[in-house]
Structure 1
Amino acid sequence: MAYASDESMFEYLNVVSKMFDSEAEGYEFYNKYALEKGFSVRKSYVEWDGSNKYIILRKIVCSRQGFREEKHMKRKMEDRKRRPRSLTRVGCNAKLVITRQEETGRWFVKDFIDEHSHPLAPRDLSCLLRSHRRISDEQKADIADMEKCGIRKYRIMDILCFQYSGFDKVGCIKRDIYNFCHANKQETISAGDANTVIMHMMARRERDVDFFFKYLVDEHGHLKGLFWADSQSRLDYEAFGDVIVFDSTYRTNKYNLPFVPFVGLNHHRSTVIFGCGIISHETSQAYEWMLRTFSDCMAQKHPISVITDGDLAMQRAIRVVWPDSNHRLCIWHIQQNIVRHLHDDDVKEEFRSFIYDTSFIEEHEIKWIQFLQRNKVTSEESWLHQMYQMRKLWCAPYLEGRCFLGLSSNQRSESLNSVLHTHLEGKMSLFEMLEHYERCLASRRINEALQDVEALQSVPFTEENASPLEKHAATVFTPSVFKMVLWSIDAVSKCQIREILDGSEDSTYVVSKQERMDKKFGVRIEEQGGLLH
């Protein structure tokens, strides 16, 4: 017992004889001392000099010093909005008081009490007490990077525990990570959400000279439209921009603004992103601005064909900005509207036949008139009549021979939206949504690179007795496109020529499928410069 008293006295003398170069150094000393002993500290009373420029005295106390204010203790339960927190202050008197010498500017210990009125935490738990938890600058950078990559905060804590070989060596807890991420987000968008996005775009352009972005604001400075595309997206459009698919049905931000990705197909028939836009209102003027901006970005190269949903404002904008581009409506959206607007199964099936009916236009028009008369469609406001008015945008005979790369719906855009929706929250700011979009874009490009490697290092298998056409196709097409070639070769092998109609400039082959000899198809062939078209 006497030895313990001697040890305590030696420890006391060691503390009170300390000198510090600054108040912060004194605090760090007492905090490290508290870590070893098993308690947490906080800064308390402070005194300033006569000019109120310099602190001359600082009291640092045990975090369990004092008591909760009496007014909070006496409040009735029915007056409280939530259950009161557990009591942490128990009137502990432990403290360290340091004061500054005016002559030297150094700090010395004026008072030190090391008696606690509560149990102390063991060493393996004291690291979890408040004043001993701190996120280092290195950890802050790692946490910010992991959050940008879409890693959830509770997973970030698991990763840090693994990296540092235990929770007691991390230096923080899950709550600290949540608080840091929230504070970091607030700091990032403190200049305003839209301004933060614009500044991010400017920074991107400094790193990527071909990065394109353009924005539109109203007279009050509010963001009305935004479009951006990086250098790779612009190169992708130059190579694969014959067909564009886009829609504006995707809204996942706290402002509920339409988010419009422009997508297409690459040489692997995988979704490729050409650019992305945000507009404030779904008007034809807003869409016209976006399409003109897209054209400016892509050196005025207009797409051969466009696939969209049935938005009328978008249709008008396409007619104005891209008048020579083929336009078709998304079949998937039409199928959804069939279920919504038609309730008779026979009518549904007959209407669906117009989507895929490949008869001649004259015959198709007769079928339409008979259908409308049979179902007594007279009101121009009815959905059936509106779809009849737009039939050239979705019925097969009017789209025959036009380039759509085998696409008939905007599910490419929908599938991208599905990917974007992963880990995306409706309360996200524009900047957070932009970061998430860029993560998805990077993921798409990694997948394309893997497909490129596979196509470069392998050739699709062909049978020994395969035709020369098939064997040649295997060497020049990617595996995905080669599968379509095989399908076409197989489809041709199941057709028979019924008749050949020779004209002055071309020939028409009338063919039928073996399983449907009653149905005829016309294949027109024209020779130009020794090539068949």
Structure 2
Amino acid sequence: MTPTLDLEFDNLEETWQYWVGYGKRMGFGVRKENSNKSKKDGSIIYYKYVCHKEGVRKPDKRDFKIKKPRQETRTGCEVRMIIKKVNRRFRVSELYLDHNHPLEPQETVHMFASQRKLPEAQGYALEAAEDVGVKQKASLNLMSKYAGGRANLRYTEEDIKSYLRARRQRKMCYDEAGCLLRYFQHQLTENPSYFHAYQVDSEDRITNVFWDDPHMLLDYDCFGDVISFDTTYSTNRENRPLAIFSGLNHYREVVIFGVALLYDETIESFKWFFETFLQAHKEKLPFTVFIDQDATMARALKEVMPTVKHGLCTFHINRYAVKHLGNLMKDDSHFLGKFNWCMYHCEEKIVFEESWKELLLKYNAADNPWLMSIYELKEKWAARMLHEGFKDSWYEKHTT
């Protein structure tokens, strides 16, 4: 219970916790004063623990500017416990336990800096409160209510400020946005042609991020006549859409022309992405862009690239067909095969119309709302009509 000479400990943490516990029982705060390290291996071989009132405050040259100086709290107390490393253990080599100031009652000991501690569970609660906009003072009042009064808390408002400040600093160093920006900076040092951009909101928080490496820029310059835009990838834990512009090269291999992590799928985000994409590629427009049936995406694309022809991606159409027409594909139904025949193999418009009518009659689907809506957009996905649109678009661009 009371330190004695030749008392031994296994490690420094055990020594410090013993000194903290002794200060709590006796009614004084404790501090770490100084230490010495071994010249051979750099390990600590000497440590001095003292009372929190040890020493006196040194004079400050700026004292004449201070209107309300802080009250002197140190009294030059000489209470100390010095330990030295002996045979891989730490032994008390010097001890002085007589204070020159009154000790505090047990009711207030928990407010010493060495005794205050913010419990982990309450730390998480304070973080959540800050995230939803609850002020620190209100959070402290709530925690005090739970503890039966502020005197029962083992921490103060300053401890809360320090905890949340440290949390922000950790986030600034290790968050995903910071790592991404450092990656972009590294890529720029490796190749100045690397392109990246990001958009921030009114609170200067990053929302949308776009990047294009030199290979993407070159591939688009060579093979960017017909491209596909897809946002069905959501590979991050926040479920943010990963938007990709892709196409095919001369070997019919998939190549990427541009990538973005979007905050959401609103028209503002899509417009920013399309405008940034064109900026990266020196305003070079494609002939045709394939997208899915998202109305917001189509509207943004029409506003940013009004002269570009828009087609619907057949992969997404098939996926939506399975979603909306699953009841027509049960058992041995060949509905999807006949639907794909209308999409890919009708060489003439009249053949497409006859095949479509036959499909509706055979499966009694003339009143299906999804089939009605997709038929209205047939110029964007039926092979023959889409091919004619490609020819018109290509001809217009090469004759103007």
Tell me the TM-score normalized by structure 2: 0.53
Which residue number in structure 2 is paired with residue 349 of structure 1? 337
Describe the superposition over 1:17-54 as per-residue Cα deviations: whole angstroms up to 9, x where unpaired. xxxxx94423965859xxxxxxxx9978467962489x
Equivalent residue for 1:59, pick from 68, 80, 83 = 83
Deviation at 1:234, TM superposition (A): 1.5
Which residue number in structure 1 is paired with residue 246 of structure 2? 263
* Code of the aligned partner of 1:386: S
Which residue number in structure 1 is paired with residue 256 of structure 2? 273
Match runs of 1:66-77 below 5 Å: none
RMSD, aligned CA: 4.1
Which residue number in structure 2 is paired with residue 26 of structure 1? 38
Residue 52 (structure 2) pairs with residue 50 (structure 1): no
Equivalent residue for 1:361, pick from 349, 354, 363 = 349
Deviation at 1:403, TM superposition (A): 6.5
Describe the superposition over 1:259-300 as per-residue Cα deviations: whole angstroms up to 9, x where unpaired. 112222334433332221121121233212211110111011
Equivalent residue for 1:94, pick from 67, 89, 94 = 89
SS at match of 1:247: strand
Gaps of 5+ in 2: 1-33, 59-79, 96-168, 392-400
1:95–1:290 CA distance, 2 compared to 1 (3 A): same
Contact 1:23 1:58 survives alignment (8 Å): no
SS at match of 1:262: strand
Of the two structures, which has the highest relative contact order with CA contacts closer than 8 Å and spacing of 6 or more?
1
1:298–1:60 CA distance, 2 compared to 1 (3 A): farther
Gaps of 5+ in 1: 1-21, 33-40, 63-91, 98-108, 112-185, 405-533
Residue 268 (structure 2) pairs with residue 285 (structure 1): yes
Provide the C-alpha distance between the structure 2 equivalents of 1:226 and 1:212, rounded to a whole number of angstroms. Answer: 11
SS at match of 1:302: coil
* Code of the aligned partner of 2:218: L
1:188–1:271 CA distance, 2 compared to 1 (3 A): farther
Deviation at 1:193, TM superposition (A): 3.9
1:42–1:372 CA distance, 2 compared to 1 (3 A): farther
Which residue number in structure 2 is paired with residue 390 of structure 1? 377
Provide the C-alpha distance between the structure 2 equivalents of 1:322 and 1:237, rounded to a whole number of angstroms. Answer: 16
Provide the C-alpha distance between the structure 1 equivalents of 2:353 and 2:269, rounded to a whole number of angstroms. Answer: 35
Provide the C-alpha distance between the structure 2 equivalents of 1:285 and 1:379, rounded to a whole number of angstroms. Answer: 35
Tell me the TM-score normalized by structure 1: 0.41
Which residue number in structure 2 is paired with residue 214 of structure 1? 197
Select between 308-317 and 281-290 the one with higher mean Cα deviation: 308-317
SS at match of 2:286: coil
* Code of the aligned partner of 1:25: K
Describe the superposition over 1:488-526 as per-residue Cα deviations: whole angstroms up to 9, x where unpaired. xxxxxxxxxxxxxxxxxxxxxxxxxxxxxxxxxxxxxxx
Which residue number in structure 1 is paired with residue 19 of structure 2? none
Describe the superposition over 1:177-213 as per-residue Cα deviations: whole angstroms up to 9, x where unpaired. xxxxxxxxx9584375435534543454455333222
SS at match of 2:231: coil
SS at match of 2:320: helix
Which residue number in structure 1 is paired with residue 99 of structure 2? none
Which residue number in structure 2 is paired with residue 301 of structure 1? 284
Match runs of 1:395-414 below 5 Å: 395-400=382-387
SS at match of 1:246: strand
Contact 2:50 2:81 survives alignment (8 Å): yes
Contact 1:250 1:259 survives alignment (8 Å): yes
Contact 2:228 2:313 survives alignment (8 Å): no
1:281–1:348 CA distance, 2 compared to 1 (3 A): same
SS at match of 1:264: strand
Q: How many residues matched?
A: 260
Which residue number in structure 1 is paired with residue 314 of structure 2? 331
SS at match of 2:207: strand
1:23–1:335 CA distance, 2 compared to 1 (3 A): same
Match runs of 1:58-457 below 5 Å: 59=83, 94-96=89-91, 189-190=172-173, 193-198=176-181, 200-202=183-185, 204-342=187-325, 343-344=327-328, 345-372=333-360, 377=365, 382-400=369-387
SS at match of 2:374: helix
Provide the C-alpha distance between the structure 2 equivalents of 1:29 and 1:357, rounded to a whole number of angstroms. Answer: 79
